[in-house]
Structure 1
Amino acid sequence: MATRVLLVEDEPLIAMMLEDFLDVLDHAHVGTADSVATALPLIEEGGIDCAILDVNLRGGEKSWPIADALAARDIPFVFATGGGDEGIADQHRERPRLGKPFTMDGVGKALEQLAA
């Protein structure tokens, strides 16, 4: 069975690339959110096995509330980031990272790590 993945990414071209990667890697894309406000209802709906979260969203918004909601439901996630800790809150500091720029191999390894 394919892993059902939520993407949180505010750049449409990057989101489309990640959706293509998921398809090639035989994972199910269950939704893409570009903000906290669009991600939280998707999490509430359920049906998510794991998530890839862009740390920095449009307008200076951070994905911390999304991370908190996923953690509260024991849904594993990876932070997508081009930098280091970027001020990641202590409760999420140990979460895995997916470095930018994305590669299909990197995304595949990140999802394997979440499934382990």
Structure 2
Amino acid sequence: MLDDLNILIVEDEALLAIDLSMTLEDEGATIAGPCMTLDAALEAQAGAKLDAAVLDVDLRGQAVFPLADRLKADGTPFVFHTGRANLAELRARYGIDVPILMKPSRPSDVVDGLTQAVHRPIA
């Protein structure tokens, strides 16, 4: 389903980052990261050709928005995967087309959200 896609994972919980990586690799993706800090994620994004990203909104108190803004500007699809987010703020800032997955989520929900993001027409 995600064959040959290079997907950046930004998640500050190590076990969850590993689980996400394994899930997406099982679907045929190559993983960039996982990155546990905003600085590491920005560096990874700058140095890679990404097809999509999974973004935790709150990285130990630091919002992932600078990275999400860069991905959006580059036309790189992404999904938010979060347990602590203001959904209204995310919708206002990134629109209704960016999937928001609330933790805990099933692995299939992450795969479905990424598939939806990657295959959505660019506005």
TM-score (norm 2): 0.84
SS at match of 1:51: strand
Question: Is 1:85 aligned with 2:87?
Answer: yes
SS at match of 1:30: strand
Unaligned runs of 5+ residues in structure 2 are: none
Q: Could you tell me which amino acid in structure 2 is paired with residue 87 of structure 1?
A: E
Q: CA deviation at 1:99?
A: 2.2
Partner of 2:101: 98
Distance in 2 between residues matched to 1:2 and 1:80, nearest whole Å: 21
Distance in 2 between residues matched to 1:56 and 1:24, nearest whole Å: 26
Q: CA deviation at 1:18?
A: 0.4
Unaligned runs of 5+ residues in structure 1 are: none
Q: Could you tell me which amino acid in structure 2 is paired with residue 27 of structure 1?
A: A
Q: CA deviation at 1:88?
A: 2.7
Partner of 1:45: 47
Q: Could you tell me which amino acid in structure 1 is paired with residue 22 of structure 2?
A: D
SS at match of 1:46: coil
Q: Could you tell me which amino acid in structure 2 is paired with residue 106 of structure 1?
A: D
Q: CA deviation at 1:8?
A: 0.5
- What RMSD, in angstroms, separates the aligned Cα atoms of the two structures? 1.7
Q: Could you tell me which amino acid in structure 1 is paired with residue 103 of structure 2?
A: K
Q: Identical aligned pairs, as a percentage?
A: 33
Tell me if the contact between 1:85 and 1:93 (Cα under 8 Å) persists in the aligned partners.
Answer: no
